[in-house]
């Protein structure tokens, strides 16, 4: 199809180069996910292994199309890599190939044939507005821009699990443009990564030094080294716009931030900021974030708009939005029970949920249609309940929506009774008819503050992702607890989608 190297688009490493157990484990995990997708989509029972495969060539050709092997001669290597799973996988693929079914969009994310095609289209695209995403996380902020047809030139994060999730879901982007590593290295060598005109830089650099009692300027505070590299990235790439997201507390140094962008060499930006709440963008969550908008001065003059005007447009865009509540986000997701077996969150148990399962939702509300952009995914990902001990399950079951740790309903078994004033939110049962409290990465430790409104368990990663406005087909890879981390640290895609929509109006290619 093209002259692209396999490593630019494939989720599979070349199995002929695999030497370590950990590398084999990655391949087996990806293959297991792919097989589970097929089984859930087409009702194939993988426990029934067919050994009388008549047309092995068809299966082999499909494996090449998938990309797990590059040619038929590598079948013996694949057999060694997959071990006892080999015959199961071959059996499922054989049954699937016999169906001659249309390739589901969720399967295309795994398959080299479609990933390569998407990357070729990406590389040939010379007209879409462009974005660079620093501190990209799992891709929430990028997703909102992608949904407005922006082309992401590069994305960077220090967490490999985040960039793995990002690359899997944004499979149109060449893998060498989704970079795991230190932002310092990226910014210092940004010219080697970006050779196109940059329309927008986005990102949310972590900052620590907010105290106004500390007279040291934010850019000179060593605790804010990551922020300084965001600023340096803007100086080097000179985008037409930038969007910087941060915690509300950063407002104490907001004027310093504006000054930092005014002091850049060779380029100047008009900058304004506003504290937005995600709920005003239609996200069913109380999530306040400080958003800075910057416009390069020459662009500001040519469009006759200041950053303050863009902020005002965003406010006007969202002022008539419907407010969605927790129930809107979790509607239709099937009931699952808390896992009661320790150290087994990686197991798929019907009663407690699966990483991958068929979407059996018959009706969708306005919110679900909005986050899915009107397209229904045939699969649901990451809808698994976490482990809880018997005491916590009892506490969850006794509480009613709105209860916290001080509730008399749990007073006799509350483990922090003597310090209830300090731990009143140690347990909190969410209210179904209100916006959800802020989803945070703390969920990777426990979900005691995010108890399901009518089931004795915490929210699943999928439910949390729904609250964050991720579409149902967005699959979070990595260990179970890290799925919560990725979701909790995200910018809600629905929020960034509406910001991107406004900015795009003023970009001409």
CATH code, 468: 3.90.120.10
Does 1 reside within a domain? no
Residues 474 and 356 in one domain: yes
Residues 297 and 360 in one domain: no
Q: Which of 112, 127, 161 is the last residue of a domain?
A: 112
Residue 205 belongs to domain with CATH number? 3.40.50.150
Alpha helices in 238-384 (DSSP H): 254-262, 297-303, 307-318, 326-330, 366-371
For residue 133, what are the domain limits? 114-320+494-504
Q: Which of 112, 135, 167 is the last residue of a domain?
A: 112
Give me the catalytic one of 37, 39, 207, 352: 207
| Number of separate helices (H) and strands (E) present in the chain | 20, 9
Residues 171 and 294 in one domain: yes
Residues 183 and 303 in one domain: yes
Q: How many domains are there within the chain?
A: 3
Residues 358 and 255 in one domain: no
Residues 469 and 369 in one domain: yes
Decide if 90 contacts 83 (C-beta within 8 A).
no
Q: Report the DSSP pairing between strands 130-134 and 200-203.
A: parallel
Residues 220 and 305 in one domain: yes
Residues 482 and 499 in one domain: no
User: For the whole model, what pTM was predicted?
Assistant: 0.94
Residues 156 and 189 in one domain: yes
Predicted confidence pLDDT, tens digits, the chain (509 residues): 578 988 999 999 889 888 899 999 999 999 999 999 999 999 999 999 888 777 788 999 999 999 999 999 999 999 999 999 999 999 999 999 999 999 999 999 999 999 999 999 999 999 999 999 999 999 999 999 999 999 999 999 999 999 999 999 999 999 999 999 999 999 999 999 999 999 999 999 986 555 444 545 666 666 678 888 999 999 999 999 999 999 888 888 888 889 999 989 899 999 999 999 999 999 999 999 999 999 999 999 999 999 999 999 999 999 988 899 999 999 999 999 999 988 888 889 999 999 999 998 878 899 999 999 999 999 999 999 999 999 999 999 999 999 999 999 999 998 766 555 556 778 999 999 999 999 999 999 999 999 999 999 999 999 999 999 999 999 999 999 999 999 999 999 999 999 999 999 999 75
Decide if 285 contacts 140 (C-beta within 8 A).
no
Is position 352 annotated as part of the catalytic site?
no
- Spatial distance between the Cα atoms of 360 and 363, rounded to a whole number of angstroms: 9
Pick the closest to residue 177 from 196, 194, 198 (CA basis).
194
Does 228 reside within a domain? yes
Q: Which of 83, 112, 141 is the last residue of a domain?
A: 112
Residues 223 and 195 in one domain: yes
Residues 305 and 330 in one domain: no
CA angle 472, 457, 449 (to 5 degrees): 90
Residues 466 and 341 in one domain: yes
Decide if 78 contacts 62 (C-beta within 8 A).
no
């Amino acid at each position: 199809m093209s002259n692209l190297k396999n490593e630019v688009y494939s989720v599979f490493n070349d199995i002929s180069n695999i030497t370590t157990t950990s590398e084999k484990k990655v391949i087996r995990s990806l293959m297991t996910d792919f097989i589970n997708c097929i089984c859930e989509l087409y009702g194939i029972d993988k426990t029934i292994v067919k050994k009388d495969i008549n047309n092995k060539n068809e299966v082999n050709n499909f494996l090449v199309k998938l990309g797990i092997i590059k040619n038929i001669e590598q079948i013996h290597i694949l057999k060694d890599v997959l071990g006892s799973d080999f015959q199961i996988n071959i059996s499922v693929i054989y049954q699937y190939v016999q169906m001659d079914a249309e390739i589901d969009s969720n399967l295309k994310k795994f398959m080299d044939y479609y990933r390569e095609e998407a990357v070729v289209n990406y590389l040939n695209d010379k007209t879409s507005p462009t974005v660079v995403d620093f501190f990209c996380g799992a891709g929430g902020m990028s997703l909102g821009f992608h949904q407005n047809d922006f082309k992401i030139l590069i994305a960077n994060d220090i967490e490999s699990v985040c960039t793995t999730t990002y690359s899997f879901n944004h499979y149109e982007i060449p893998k060498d443009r989704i970079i795991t590593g230190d932002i310092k290295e990226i910014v210092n060598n940004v010219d080697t990564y970006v050779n196109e005109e940059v329309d927008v830089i986005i990102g949310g650099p972590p900052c620590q030094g907010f105290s106004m009692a500390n007279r040291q300027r934010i850019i000179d505070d060593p605790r804010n080294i990551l922020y300084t590299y965001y600023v340096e990235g803007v100086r080097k790439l000179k985008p037409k716009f930038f969007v910087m997201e941060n915690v509300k507390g950063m407002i104490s140094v907001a004027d310093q931030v504006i000054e930092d962008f005014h002091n850049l060499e060779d380029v100047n930006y008009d900058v304004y900021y506003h504290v937005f709440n995600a709920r005003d963008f239609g996200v069913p969550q109380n999530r306040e974030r400080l958003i800075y908008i910057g416009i390069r001065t020459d662009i500001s003059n040519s469009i006759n708009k200041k950053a303050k005007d863009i902020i005002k447009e965003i406010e006007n865009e969202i002022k008539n939005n419907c407010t969605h509540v927790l129930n809107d986000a979790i509607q239709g997701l099937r009931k699952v029970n808390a896992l009661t077996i320790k150290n087994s969150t990686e197991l798929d148990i019907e009663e407690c949920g699966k990483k991958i399962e068929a979407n059996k939702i018959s009706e969708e509300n306005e919110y679900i249609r909005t986050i899915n952009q009107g397209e229904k995914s045939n699969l649901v990902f990451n809808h698994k309940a976490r482990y809880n001990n018997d005491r916590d399950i009892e506490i969850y079951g006794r509480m009613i929506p709105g209860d916290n740790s001080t509730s008399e309903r749990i007073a006799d078994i509350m483990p922090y009774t003597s310090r209830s004033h300090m731990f009143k939110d140690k347990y909190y049962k969410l209210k179904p008819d209100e916006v959800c409290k802020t989803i945070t990465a703390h969920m990777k430790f426990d979900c005691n503050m995010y108890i399901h409104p009518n089931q004795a368990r915490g929210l699943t990663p999928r439910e949390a992702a729904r609250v964050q406005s991720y579409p149902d087909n967005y699959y979070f890879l990595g260990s179970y607890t890290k799925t919560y981390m990725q979701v909790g640290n995200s910018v809600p895609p629905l929020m960034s989608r509406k910001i991107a929509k406004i900015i795009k109006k003023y970009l001409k290619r």
